[in-house]
Amino acid sequence: MRQDHLISAANLSRESIEAVLDRAAAIDADPAAYRQRHAGAVLALCFFEPSTRTKMSFDTAMKRLGGTTVDMGTVESSSVKKGETLADTVRVVEGYADAIVLRHPSEGAAKMASEFVDVPLVNAGDGAGQHPSQTLLDLYTIRERAGLDDLSVGIMGDLKYGRTVHSLAHALTNFDVRQHFISPESLRLPRNVRFDLHEAGAHVREHTDLEAVLPELDVLYVTRIQRERFPDENEYRAVAGQYRIDEETLEAARDDLSVMHPLPRVDEIAPEVDETEYATYFEQAHNGIPVRMALLDGLLTRAKEGGR
Ligand code: NCD
């Protein structure tokens, strides 16, 4: 198996993370220098679940590197509708492209698909599993704002089904970060992620209330309750709307707190927060371009050097 797929943040080292973030910073400083870097290369976008940011930013990132993209389109319009397996789809698609970005509703789908292809495959979300490229842009944003050491990071909302949370929690174990998880009891971090954090020796605290921990946070990473993952709509209703941030909530926060969110938000952050210095989520979304350019540049360059 090739080593170059990006499937989970659990196997990202500090060095590999910093390499991508440094390259993203170089791209941010001089985007024109990268304009023709991967001319002629093709990126396949295979999204079996809705996406705005992730898909459009990978698309834009590839084009800004001089490459092009091919898009599977929606599941409704693809051969998946005729019963094609994921393994067959990616085996066909690798013949069209130099790299594949895959989003799929099933946890483990990206790992499974990666075993069938020789081009680099990026997991752009596998059910409630992982979303490692989001994590890279989250880390880039945190680093730009506050650096990545001696930090208190609060992660709040749907910690059970939120794949961006799982990836971020894993990646933060590489840094000197105190992780505070804030959620209702029923949406706690899954046992396997808690186990991994414990094994990594991470500083972890769990809370059901934001109030007590808010004053010490450098970053508050808010997430959407992942309605589509709940087996029972009543369970969703029982927790929906419980963790909402507005200007009043933030009165107890430090002045330099960064409020982040992978977006889309539903009602977790009141729009009035957008106008405050705390709001970092739009900047975070914009960082998807340099970070995904850096990620693709690394993957495509190594694939080329590997004789492909
Ligand atoms: C997230 C996702 O798809 O997991 N969105 C994203 O990629 N920015 C978060 C979410 O859907 O809540």
Write out the chain's pLDDT in tens, 308 residues.
456 999 999 989 999 999 999 999 999 999 999 999 999 999 999 999 999 999 999 999 999 999 999 999 887 777 777 778 999 999 999 999 999 999 999 999 999 999 999 999 999 999 999 999 999 999 999 999 999 999 999 999 999 999 999 999 999 999 999 999 999 999 999 999 999 999 999 999 999 999 999 999 999 999 999 999 999 999 999 999 889 999 999 999 999 999 999 999 999 999 999 999 999 999 999 999 999 999 999 999 999 988 54
How does 31-51 read in b/e, with b if 16+ C-beta sit within 10 Å? eeebeebbeebbbbbbbbbeb
The alpha carbon of 57 and the centre of ligand 1 are apart by a number of angstroms equal to 13
Q: Are 112 and 86 in contact (CB under 8 A)?
A: yes
Q: What are phi and psi of 205, to 5 degrees?
A: -130, 145
Question: Which residue's CA lies nearest to atom 11 of ligand 1?
Answer: 264
Mutate to test the pocket of ligand 1, among 107, 131, 243 (most ligand atoms within 8 A of CB): 131
Q: Are 59 and 85 in contact (CB under 8 A)?
A: no
The alpha carbon of 81 and the centre of ligand 1 are apart by a number of angstroms equal to 24
Sheet strands side by side (includes 258-260): 203-207, 177-182, 151-156, 219-222, 258-260
Question: Which residue's CA lies nearest to atom 6 of ligand 1?
Answer: 262
CA 186-187-192 angle, to 5 degrees, is 110
- Report how far residue 172's alpha carbon sits from residue 174's, in angstroms, rounded to the nearest whole number: 5
Q: Are 72 and 78 in contact (CB under 8 A)?
A: yes
The alpha carbon of 161 and the centre of ligand 1 are apart by a number of angstroms equal to 11
The residue written with tokens 């943040």 in the block is: 9
Question: Which residue's CA lies nearest to atom 3 of ligand 1?
Answer: 125
pTM for the model stands at: 0.96
Indicate the SS3 state at residue 278: coil
